[in-house]
Structure 1
Amino acid sequence: MGAVLTQAISFLLVILAAYLFKVANILEGKDGRTISKIILNLTLPATIIIGFNSVELNKILFIMIGLGLSANIIFITFGGLIWRKRKTSDQALMIFSQGGYNIGNFTIPFVQGFFPQAIPFIGSFDTGNALMLFGGTPILADKLTGQNRGARGIGEVVFRLFRSPTFTTYIIMILLALINITIPENILSVVKLFASGNAFLSMFMIGLYLELTISRSDLKKVAQLLFTRYTIGISFALVSYFLLPLPEIVRLSLVLLALAPIATVSTINMVVYGNKESLSGFLSSASIILSLLFMTLALALIM
């Protein structure tokens, strides 16, 4: 429990430090894009390689991919139905706030320091999650809202998926596991050097993107969205941990995933579907802080 609390406090301090750097004009919010590129192209793939190396491929990993897909589909559909009588932009806001999990930039950095054995299961879930984020969710959102903003062909979806270094790394490591190839230790030692900076850079990037100003009317809307997301998330976590016939490490991974914040791609899509950047930015920031608190509390209660 002490390690979990120390990790959570450390993350909060890094986020706060980055936010203060932004407030003091030492760095700007746009600097987060540079850090994001470093994370997505170097430190996160390195963390995934270490987590998946030597992993034994079994049916549980494929079950996690399926859960990543099905959880998104169920919760996106539920979100679309809740606000189906509201204007289209609000309905899209609810849809994208319920589907999509920030796994690469938040959940994996959160667990890699003290719970690295969970990374293959979390990464497998993220494979299904990515299939929805980069293709399935916009298509489903179009059907639920009667729009045509996210319509795209299969070729474009596949292209977008493999443009993501994270998704490509997942696929490569799964293929290597299928043919029982392990990366040698001398190469892995270099990869570990890149992976060691992933958690710090991820939290620092979040701090640079943190938005704390919002209108009162939008604040009420954000409260409704987050209440819905975390009510569903906590329910998903309880069902996963107490009812699913899976190993404990897998059930614990699902608890953390259920409480993960809103995905960055989802917040971008909120703007594409007619919502204000300030609203989606604040919503994303609030979900990150809440997820850090809920995930820390969940681990403190379980471990």
Structure 2
Amino acid sequence: MGAVFTQAISFLLIILVGYLFKFFGLLETKDGHTVSKIILNLTLPATIIIGFNTIEINSTLIILMSLGLLANFLLITIGGFLWRKKSSADQALMMFSQAGYNIGNFTIPFVQGFFPQAIPFIGSFDTGNALMIFGGTPLLADKMTGQKRGTRGVKDVIFSLFRSPSFSTYIAMIILALVNITIPESVLGVVELFASGNAFLSMFMIGLYLELAISRVDLVKVAKLLFTRYALGISLALIFYFLLPLPKIVRLSLVLVALAPVGTVSTINMVAYGNKTSLSGFLSSISIIISLLLMTTALIFMGL
């Protein structure tokens, strides 16, 4: 319990430091883009490599990939149904606020220090998650809202997936596991140097991106969106933990992803489907804080 609580406080402090750097003009929001490139192209793939290096591909990992797909499909469909009578932009906002999980930039950094054995399970779920947020979710949003903003061919979707270094790393490590190849310890020692900076950079980037200014009207809308997301997320977490016949470590991993914040790509799609950048940015920022509190609470109650 102490390790989890310490990790949560540390993350909050790093996020605060990142925000204060922006607030006092030492850095700007645009500097977060540079940090993001370092994370996505270097430290996060290194973390995935370490987490996946000794895994064995089995039915559990296949189940987790499928759950990543199914959870996204279910939540975006529910979101579209709940706000089906609102404008197409608002309906899309509800859909993208429910589906898509921030796993690479938040969930994996959160667990890598004290619960690294969960990374292969979380990463397997993220593989299905990525398939939806880069392809399936926009297609569903187009169908339910009547917009045509996300319609793309299969080639475009595949290209988008493999443009993601984390997704490419997942696939590469899964292939290596299938042919029983592990990376030597001498090489892992170098990889660990890069992976060690992932958690700090991820939280510092979140601080740089943190947005706290929003109108009262938009604040009410965000409150409704986040209440729905976490009501559904907590329900999903309870189903994962108490009803699935899987090992405890797998169920713990699923609880964490169910409570994860809104995905970065989902936030981008909110704007692409006609919503304000300030609203989607604020929603994403607050969801990170809420998820940090909920994930910490869940781990403490589950006795990690």
Name the TM tier (shorter chain). Answer: over 0.9
How far apart, CA to CA, are the structure 2 residues paired with 1:115 and 1:58?
21
The amino acid of 1:48's aligned partner reads: I
Q: How do 1:98-109 residues align onto structure 2 when only pairs under 5 Å count?
A: 98-109=98-109
Q: How do 1:263-282 residues align onto structure 2 when only pairs under 5 Å count?
A: 263-282=263-282
Map Cα deviations across residues 154-203 of structure 1 (whole Å, 9 max, x no partner).
00000010011000000000000000000000000000000000000000
How far apart, CA to CA, are the structure 2 residues paired with 1:163 and 1:21?
30
**Quick check: 1:190 aligned with 2:166?**
no
**Quick check: 1:283 aligned with 2:286?**
no
CA offset at residue 54 of structure 1? Answer: 1.1
Quote the residue 1:17 is aligned against.
17
Q: How do 1:1-303 residues align onto structure 2 when only pairs under 5 Å count?
A: 1-303=1-303
The amino acid of 1:153's aligned partner reads: G
Aligned residues: 303
TM-score (ref. length: structure 1): 1.00
CA offset at residue 56 of structure 1? Answer: 1.3
TM-score (ref. length: structure 2): 0.99
How far apart, CA to CA, are the structure 2 residues paired with 1:49 and 1:194?
11
The amino acid of 2:280's aligned partner reads: S
Map Cα deviations across residues 200-232 of structure 1 (whole Å, 9 max, x no partner).
000000000000000000000000000000000
Show structure 1 runs of 5+ residues with no match: none
CA offset at residue 83 of structure 1? Answer: 0.2
How far apart, CA to CA, are the structure 1 residues paired with 2:21 and 2:286?
19
Map Cα deviations across residues 58-83 of structure 1 (whole Å, 9 max, x no partner).
11001000000000000000000000
How far apart, CA to CA, are the structure 2 residues paired with 1:32 and 1:166?
18
How far apart, CA to CA, are the structure 1 residues paired with 2:279 and 2:53?
40
How far apart, CA to CA, are the structure 1 residues paired with 2:152 and 2:11?
37
Map Cα deviations across residues 80-134 of structure 1 (whole Å, 9 max, x no partner).
0000000111000000000000000000000000000000000000000000011
SS of 2:157 mapped into structure 1: helix
The amino acid of 2:211's aligned partner reads: E
How far apart, CA to CA, are the structure 2 residues paired with 1:299 and 1:83?
32
CA offset at residue 18 of structure 1? Answer: 0.5
How far apart, CA to CA, are the structure 2 residues paired with 1:297 and 1:232?
17
CA offset at residue 57 of structure 1? Answer: 1.2
SS of 1:213 mapped into structure 2: coil
Q: Percent identity?
A: 75
The amino acid of 1:62's aligned partner reads: I
SS of 2:177 mapped into structure 1: helix
Runs of 4+ in 1 over 6 A off after TM superposition: none
Show structure 2 runs of 5+ residues with no match: none
SS of 1:275 mapped into structure 2: coil
The amino acid of 1:165's aligned partner reads: P
How far apart, CA to CA, are the structure 2 residues paired with 1:281 and 1:250?
31
How far apart, CA to CA, are the structure 2 residues paired with 1:44 and 1:291?
20
The amino acid of 2:76's aligned partner reads: I
How far apart, CA to CA, are the structure 1 residues paired with 2:116 and 2:17?
25
How far apart, CA to CA, are the structure 2 residues paired with 1:299 and 1:248?
12
How far apart, CA to CA, are the structure 1 residues paired with 2:56 and 2:113?
21
